[in-house]
A and B are shown apart, each in its own frame.
Chain A
Amino acid sequence: MSEMTAAHAQGAATAQIRESYMAQTRRKRLYGTMMLVVFVALMASGFMTAEARNAGGFWGGLHQIGDFPAALLSEAGEKLSELPANLVTYFPALVETINIAAVSTLIGGVGGILLSMLATRGLALWPRMIPVWRRLMDVMRAVPEIVIALVLIFVLGGGPVPAMIAIAFHTVGALGKLFSEVNENASLKPVEGLASVGANWSQRMILGVMPSVAPNYLSYALLRFEINIRASAILGFVGAGGIGYELKNAMAWGIGRYDEAAAIFLLLFVTIVAFDQLGSHLRDRLTHGRKEELLA
C-alpha cells in the first residue's frame, strides 16, 4: 500500500519535472524566436536604410560589381609586359608601408609592455594607479588611427611619420590589454624571489616576468604586426605615405593607367597573404613548439 503511494508520488513528481521542463523549453523557444525576429528586423531595416543613403543602390550596383575588376584586369593583361617594371617602381612604397607597420609595432610593443606591467595586479609599481593605466589603455585603443594620423598630417605634413605615430599609439593600447591578460597568468614566485634579494622594479620585471611571458608577447605582437600592415596601407590612402598613397594616385589617374593600380593591388595582396602565413606559422611554433620541447 505504502509502496503504491510512493510510486504514485514519484509519478506525480516526474510529471511535474516534465511540465516545468516543457515550460522552460517553450519559454526559451519563445525568447529565441523573439530575438531572431528582432535581429532579422534590424538587419532588414538597416539594409534598407543603408540602401537609401548610398549613392548607388545595392541591386542597381550588383551587376556592375565585376566591371571595375574586369577593366583593371583587362588593362593589366594588355600591358602585361610592363607589370614587372611597375612592380619594381612601387616596391619602395611597399617597403615603406611595411616599415611603418614594423616600427609602430616595435614602439607600440615596448609601450604596451610598460603599461601592461603597470596595470597588472601584483606587478604594478604603484598599485593605486592601476585603474588610471587601464583607462589610459582603453582610451588609446578606442581612438581610431585615422584621427591621430589626420591631425598629425596637419601639423607635421604628409609622410610616414604621422602614420607611424598614429598606429603606434593605437598599438600601445591594444597590445597593453592583451599583455596584461598574459601577465595575470604569470607566476609571481620569480618576482618575489628577486624582490627578496633587493632587485628594483625594472629588474624584477625584466628578469622575473619577461622570460615567462615573452613567447606569448611575441605571438600577440606578430598578430598585431599583420593588422598594422593593413592599417598602414589604409592610412596611406588618406595621405600618410607608403603604398596606400601610391594606390590613391594610381586610382586618380583613371582609365589608361589601371595597370599601375593592378600592380599595387597585387603587391598589397601578396604582402598581406605572405605575412599572414608567415605570422601564423611563427605563432604556431611559439605556442605549440614549447610544449613539444617539454614533452620530448
Chain B
Amino acid sequence: MTMAADIRTADLKAGAERLFRTKRLTAIALPLLVLAYLAYAAVAFDVPGLLGRANLENGARLISDTYSYKTHVERDNRSGVVSYAIEGERKGEYPEGMTPQWVSVAGGVTTVHLPMGHEVRYYADHVEYDVPDYGTIRATPGNGGVNASFPPGDLPDYISASKNRVMVTTEAGRVTITRNRTEVFRYSWGWELFFFTLDSPYHGLAPGVLLGRALNGEAGAIWHDFWYNPMWHHADVAWALFETVLMAFLGTFGAALVALPLAFLAARNFTPLMLVRQLFRRIFDLCRGVDALIWTIVLARAFGPGPMTGALAILLTDTGSFGKMFSEALENVDEKQIEGIRSTGARPVQRYRFGVIPQVTPVLLSQVLYFFESNTRSATVIGAITGGGIGLLLTQAMITQKDWEEVTYYILLVVLMVFAMDAFSSWLRRRLIKGDAGGH
C-alpha cells in the first residue's frame, strides 16, 4: 500500500519536474526567439541604412513649423521696393502701406527688429545687421555680387559668405543677401492668419472688439471672412471631414443592410440546405479576404475618385465581416421564442420579425456601431488612396512639404473626429440597446 503510494508520489514528482523543466526552457527560449526574430527584422528592414539616410533636419523643420511661422521681409535690390509676406505666400502678403509691427520705416531706412536685440537695417545702397556680442555685418549688393565686411576675427559658423551670397542664420532669424534681393525671415509663434487673412478688415482685432462688431450686425461678414479664409480653407476642411464621416456611414450601414438578409442564408438554423449555406459563407470570405485596398483600386477604375468609391469599398469589405458575424449571432438565437411565436400561428416573416430580430438586434447593432467608429479611421486612409475627404487633404498638405502647420491642424481634426465618433457611437449603443432590453 505504502509502496504504491510511494511510486505514485515519485511519478508525480518526476512529472512535476519535467513540467518545470519545460516551463523554464520556454521561459528562456521564447524571449530569445522573439529577440532573434526582431534582430532578423532589423536586418531585413535595413535599419542601419535607414538611420544613415534619415533626414533629421526635415524632422526639426517639421516640428518648428507646427508651432511657428515665418514672415519674409524682402527687398528687391534693383527697384528698392520692400515687401512683406507671411510664409512668402502671395495669399499672406501685407497690403500696400501696411507693415508688421516690428518693422519701422524712417527716412528711407527700413529697420527690422528681430528678437534678442538683433536688428537689420535696409539702406538705399547697403544692408546692416547688428548681431549682439558680435558686431555689425555690412553688405553692399552690387553688380559684382555681394561686397560684405564683417567684424574683425574668424567668421562664426552661422555665417556663410561667398562672392554672390551672404547668409546669416541665428536663433533670431535668417538674413540672406544676394545681388538681386535681401531677405529676412522672422519667426513667430502660432499658426499664422488662422482666423482672418491680412486683407480682411477683421484681422488683428481683439476677441472683445470682434464680439461687439458681431453684435452690431457684422456677424455674417465676420463669419464669411473666417469661413472662406483663403489660407486655411475652413469651409473645405469641414466639408472634407463630413465627406470622411459620410464614407464611413454609407459603407457601414449599407453593409449592414446588405449583410442582414444574406446572413439568414448562411446560418445553419435558418438555411438547412448545405449548398446554399456554403455558397454564401464563401461569398462572405471572399468579400473579407479581398482587402479594402484591393476593392478601392478595383472600384476606383469604375467609379473614379471620390467618396462614393470609398464608401463602396468599405461596404464590400464589411459585408463580408458583417455576414460572418451576423450569421454566427443568428445561429445562437434562442429557439424557444421562435417556437412561442409559431404557436400563435405566425407566418415565417412574422416569426423572423418578432421571434428573431428582437433577440439579435442588440448584438448586431453594437457590432455595427463598433465598425462605424473604426471605419471613420479607415475612411481617412481610403480617402488618401481614392482621393476624397480629409485623407486627401492630409496627403496633399504633406506632399507640398512646407505646410506642416496645416498637417498638424488636419491631424488634430482627425483625432477629434475619431474621438467624437467614438463618443457618439458608444452613446447611441447605450441608448438603443438599453431601450431594446427594456422594451422586450
Contact = CB atoms under 8 A, between A and B. Distances in A.
A41 interface: no
A191 interface: no
A159 B309 contact: no
- Secondary structure of the A contact surface, majority rule: helix
Contacts of B439: 28
Interface in A39-93: 39, 42-43, 46-47, 49-51, 53-58, 61-62, 64-65, 67-69
B34 A156 contact: no
A157 B293 contact: no
Contact of B250 (A46, A62, A151): A46
Contacts of A96: 44-45
Interface in B381-431: 381, 384-385, 388, 391, 394-395, 398, 401, 407, 411, 414-415, 418-419, 422
Contact of A50 (B247, B253, B288, B385): B247
Given A50-B308, A54-B309, A160-B45, A61 B415 contact: no
Contacts, number: 176
A49 B47 CA distance: 46
B307 A53 contact: yes
B246 interface: yes
B341 interface: no
Nearest to B317: A230
B384 A146 contact: yes
Given A53-B308, A157-B54, A62 B398 contact: no
A53 B34 CA distance: 48
Contacts of A103: 37-38, 41, 45
A233 interface: yes
Contacts of B419: 138, 142
Interface string A137-151: 011011111110011
Interface string B294-318: 1001110111111111011000000
Contacts of A146: 380-381, 384, 391, 394
B192 interface: no
B302 A56 contact: yes
Contacts of B285: 273, 276
B22 interface: no
B122 interface: no
Interface residues of B, number: 64
Contacts of B401: 154
A269 interface: yes
A168 B193 CA distance: 36
B415 A143 contact: yes
A237 B294 CA distance: 10
A138 B422 CA distance: 10
Contacts of A64: 301-302
B385 A155 contact: no
Interface in A148-171: 150-151, 154-157, 159-161, 164
B381 A142 contact: no
B50 A161 contact: yes
Given A39-B253, A143-B414, 7 more contacts: A54-B303, A55-B303, A64-B301, A100-B45, A103-B45, A234-B381, A234-B385
5 contacts: A43-B254, A54-B308, A55-B305, A151-B407, A234-B381
Interface of A: 28, 39, 42-43, 46-47, 49-51, 53-58, 61-62, 64-65, 67-69, 95-96, 99-100, 102-103, 106, 138-139, 141-147, 150-151, 154-157, 159-161, 164, 230, 233-234, 237-238, 244, 247, 251, 265, 268-269, 272-273, 276
